[in-house]
Amino acid sequence: MISKDFFKAGHTPTLLSAFLYFDMSFMVWVLLGALGVQIAASLGLTPAEKGFMVAVPILAGAGLRLINGVLVDRIGPKKTGTIAQLIVIAGLLLAWILQVNSYGGVLVLGVVLGMAGASFAVALPLASRWYPPKYQGIALGIAGAGNSGTVFASLFAPSLAKAFGWSAVFGIATIPLIITFVIYQFLAKDAPDQPPAKTWTQYLNIFKQSDAWWFLLFYGVTFGGFVGLSSSLNIYFNSEYGVEPVAAGFFTAACVFAGSLLRPVGGGLSDRIGGIRTLSIMYCVAAAALILLSFGMPTVWAAVMVLLVAMGALGMGNGAVFQLVPQRFRNEMGVMTGLVGMFGGVGGFYLAASLGLSKQATGSYQFGLVGFAILAMVALGGLTLVKKRWRGTWQAFGSADAKL
């Protein structure tokens, strides 16, 4: 799927450093979700409080993505990424030194970890601006596969918390972050054709374009579903099937890995058959899987199988959306990545919080899962509505060589 021409077209060290930065940032972004069962047991949290705890970093990341997106356009992606990494490392070290052990303290840390989630608005423009339109799907698929960092959180955080205590995990997590920071400083490089900085009025003008609003909805479903489930599955497996935290982390890691692994596949498939067609299929598959899951699976293994399908579809959908965004908004890639990523975070906050509220109110996750499946069908309807217009006007945006 990746040709030799692809490697000649861009800057591989920057692509790899963007992936690594994104990967380690996402690892700590969902850290509270990975530790959710142990933190909840220690602090005696209700289902709604657990849902809100894992949703706070997602919501904070949503808002901070917009800020980072604007900074990317004004000072460049490399500098923005440098600042963001230092904030996250400092926050985790402070939480470890102070031995955070209260619900309020955990929520404050969740806000700081939102900056790690905002890495999305930095890593993708950093990679995207090195590649021509025909390679956007695969380039952003590779960079975006950094959301696989959530796998590491699920795999290692519960075991480390069992051995050293959950607050110690915050300090341990800074070790790979510091290594990544050093690599990023040496390998990452801004593309030579950085667009000129815009005025604040010009940034706001993007809201006047209906295409921007559609992309907010589309990514709010695909990425929102992915990160919302990534943050909630440890708690889901524990509460629904009585799975111990460490084993729940392994199950969650498998599901997250499917979504992360298939993100570049979704981008590559979009380059071949078109982003609209790929995204339409993925919405249908994800919605069907979530509705099936909502009725309850007889065993944890059956639930994992359904979740592998759902997360895989959402991951491929993420790749499809970002095959389309750079074609339409290449000169506004920083702010659009921030905006689209923000709404992806909003979607994730909604799903994680609604699952907790649904469980507390009804004793079941069904209403939260079905509600999100309906949202996926709404997005599919919107995509169907605009696809003819997009196909008819795409050449106006200089992307005639890329597929819709």
**pLDDT tens digit string along 47-70?**
999 999 999 999 898 888 878 878
Domains contained in the chain, CATH given: 10-187+209-393 (1.20.1250.20)
- Write down the mean pLDDT value for the chain: 87
Nearest to residue 394, comparing CAs of 330, 304, 308?
A: 330
Ramachandran angles phi, psi of 209, nearest 5°: -95, 120
Q: Which amino acid is at 364?
A: S
Ramachandran angles phi, psi of 359, nearest 5°: -65, -40
Average pLDDT over residues 186-212: 79
- pLDDT score of 4: 67
- Structure confidence at residue 135 as a pLDDT band (50, 70, 90): confident
pLDDT at 5 over 70: no
Contacts 24+ apart (CB under 8 A), 96-99: 96/167, 96/168, 96/170, 96/171, 96/174, 97/171, 99/167
Residue 385 makes CB contacts below 8 A (sequence gap 6+) with: none
CA distances 182 to 16, 96, 114, 290, 388, Å, are 13, 21, 21, 40, 46
Please report, to the nearest 10 degrees, the dihedral formed by the alpha carbons of residues 223, 228, 231, 234 taken in order.
-120
- pLDDT score of 190: 86
Query: Which of 2-16, 55-69, 170-184, 268-282 has the largest mean confidence?
Result: 170-184
Written as six digits, the tokens of 149 are 């960092």
Counting residues of the chain whose pLDDT is more than 70, the rounded percentage is 92
pLDDT at 400 over 60: no
pLDDT at 169 over 60: yes
Taking residue 299's Cβ as centre, other Cβ atoms within 10 Å add up to 9
What is residue 4's DSSP assignment? H
Nearest to residue 368, comparing CAs of 348, 354, 353, 350?
A: 354
Average pLDDT over residues 119-134: 81
- pLDDT score of 394: 56
- pLDDT score of 357: 93
Q: What is the pTM of this model?
A: 0.82
CA gap 320, 282 in Å, rounded: 9
Taking residue 110's Cβ as centre, other Cβ atoms within 10 Å add up to 23
Q: Do residues 188 and 82 touch, judged by C-beta distance below 8 A?
A: no
- pLDDT score of 160: 96
DSSP for 297-322, written as a single string: -SSHHHHHHHHHHHHHHHHHHHHHHH
CA gap 233, 213 in Å, rounded: 29
pLDDT at 20 over 60: yes
CA gap 72, 156 in Å, rounded: 32
- pLDDT score of 163: 94
- pLDDT score of 340: 83
pLDDT in tens, 72-87: 888 889 999 999 999 9
Average pLDDT over residues 381-395: 77
CA gap 93, 112 in Å, rounded: 11
Structural Rg of the chain based on CA atoms? 20
Q: Do residues 314 and 281 touch, judged by C-beta distance below 8 A?
A: no
Place of tokens 């949202």: 375
Judged by average pLDDT, the poorest of 222-226, 261-265, 364-368 is 261-265
pLDDT at 279 over 80: yes
- Structure confidence at residue 204 as a pLDDT band (50, 70, 90): confident
pLDDT at 385 over 70: yes
- Structure confidence at residue 178 as a pLDDT band (50, 70, 90): very high
Average pLDDT over residues 145-174: 90
pLDDT in tens, 36-48: 999 999 999 999 9
- Structure confidence at residue 218 as a pLDDT band (50, 70, 90): very high
- pLDDT score of 7: 67
Environment class of 238 (CB within 10 Å of its CB; exposed 0-12, middle 13-18, buried 19+): buried
Average pLDDT over residues 265-274: 86
Counted residue by residue, the chain has a size of: 404
